Amino acid sequence: MEDNNRNDILLDDILGGIHGFNANDAEWDTFIDQIIQGNVIPVIGPEILCENGNPHKSILKYFIKIFNASSHINSFSELISDHKFLVHNQRDYIYSYINQVIAKSRFSPSKLLHDLLSIEQFPFVITTSFTPIVENTMREIWEGKGKRLKLMCFNNNPEENQDIKYDIDLYSPTVYYMFGKAGDSAHRYVVTDIDMLDFCSSWIADTEGRPSKLISCLKNKYLLMIGNSYSDWLFRFIWYSLRKSGTGSGLYACDNIEDDLSRFLQRNQTILRRPPQVTIDTMIDKLNEKLERKRQNNNKNFNSVEYGADIFISYSRRDADIAEKLYEQLTQKGINVWFDRNNITAGGKFMDEIRQGIRTAKYFIPILSLNIEQEKNESHVYRIEWGEAIETSASYGRTYIIPIFENGLDFYQASIPDKLRQHNAIQYDNIEDMRIIADKIINVIK
- Quote the longest CA-to-CA distance of the chain: 88
Q: What are the two backbone dihedrals, phi and then psi, of residue 279, each rounded to the nearest 5 degrees?
A: -90, 170
328 domain-assigned: yes
* Top-confidence range, 112-126, 234-248, 337-351: 112-126
CATH of residue 269's domain is 3.40.1160
Q: Do 282 and 210 share a domain, yes or no?
A: yes
Whole-number Å distance between alpha carbons of 48 and 240: 24
Q: What are the two backbone dihedrals, phi and then psi, of residue 428, each rounded to the nearest 5 degrees?
A: -135, 160
DSSP state of 107: P
Whole-number Å distance between alpha carbons of 289 and 424: 45
pLDDT confidence band for 124 (50 / 70 / 90)? very high
- pLDDT value at residue 186: 92
Q: Which domain holds residue 110?
A: 26-52+106-287
Whole-angstrom CA distances from 400 to 37, 277, 347, 366, 420 are 21, 43, 30, 11, 11
374-429: pLDDT as tens digits = 888 887 888 889 999 998 888 888 889 999 999 998 877 788 888 888 888 999 99
Q: Do 221 and 170 share a domain, yes or no?
A: yes
Q: Residues near 182 by Cβ (< 8 Å), separated by ≥ 6?
A: 98, 99, 102, 130, 131, 132, 189
17 domain-assigned: no
Long-range contacts of 384-388 (CB under 8 A, 24+ apart): 384/351, 384/354, 385/312, 385/314, 385/354, 385/358, 386/314, 386/416, 386/417, 386/420, 387/417, 388/354, 388/355, 388/358, 388/359
pLDDT at 324 over 60: yes
Amino acid at 194: I
* Top-confidence range, 200-204, 257-261, 325-329, 348-352: 325-329
Helix (H, G, I), strand (E, B) or coil at 177: strand
Q: Compare 206 and 322 and report the one with higher pLDDT.
A: 322
Counted domains in the chain: 2
Q: Do 330 and 280 share a domain, yes or no?
A: no
Burial 208-224 (b: 16+ CB within 10 A, else e): ebbbbebbebbeebbbb
Long-range contacts of 353-357 (CB under 8 A, 24+ apart): 353/305, 354/381, 354/384, 354/385, 354/388, 355/388, 356/307, 357/305, 357/307, 357/309, 357/312
Q: Do 253 and 317 share a domain, yes or no?
A: no
Query: Is this prediction's pTM over 0.85?
Result: no
pLDDT confidence band for 5 (50 / 70 / 90)? very low
73 domain-assigned: no
Q: Do 176 and 269 share a domain, yes or no?
A: yes
Q: What is the separation of C-alpha 340 from the centre of its chain, rounded to a whole number of angstroms?
A: 23
pLDDT confidence band for 438 (50 / 70 / 90)? very high
pLDDT confidence band for 441 (50 / 70 / 90)? very high
pLDDT confidence band for 279 (50 / 70 / 90)? low
Q: Do 279 and 311 share a domain, yes or no?
A: no
Helix (H, G, I), strand (E, B) or coil at 397: coil
Lowest mean pLDDT among 193-207, 275-289, 405-419: 275-289
Q: Do 231 and 316 share a domain, yes or no?
A: no
Residue 236's CB is within 10 A of a number of other CB atoms, namely 16
Q: Compare 354 and 303 and report the one with higher pLDDT.
A: 354
21 domain-assigned: no
User: Do 244 and 215 touch, CB atoms closer than 8 A?
Assistant: no
430 domain-assigned: yes
4 domain-assigned: no
Q: Do 316 and 428 share a domain, yes or no?
A: yes
Q: What is the mean pLDDT of residues 61-82?
A: 88
Q: Do 370 and 283 share a domain, yes or no?
A: no
pLDDT confidence band for 166 (50 / 70 / 90)? low
Q: Do 264 and 396 share a domain, yes or no?
A: no
What are residue 98's DSSP bridge partners? none
83 domain-assigned: no
Lowest mean pLDDT among 90-94, 110-114, 153-157: 90-94
Whole-number Å distance between alpha carbons of 248 and 292: 27
User: Do 268 and 290 touch, CB atoms closer than 8 A?
Assistant: no
Domain boundary pick from 259, 287, 315: 287
Q: Do 142 and 213 share a domain, yes or no?
A: yes
Whole-number Å distance between alpha carbons of 65 and 57: 12
CATH of residue 329's domain is 3.40.50.10140
Amino acid at 253: A
Q: Do 271 and 403 share a domain, yes or no?
A: no
User: Do 319 and 149 touch, CB atoms closer than 8 A?
Assistant: no
Domain boundary pick from 235, 255, 287: 287
Closest CA to 361 of 326, 385, 333: 385
Domain boundary pick from 220, 255, 287: 287
140 domain-assigned: yes
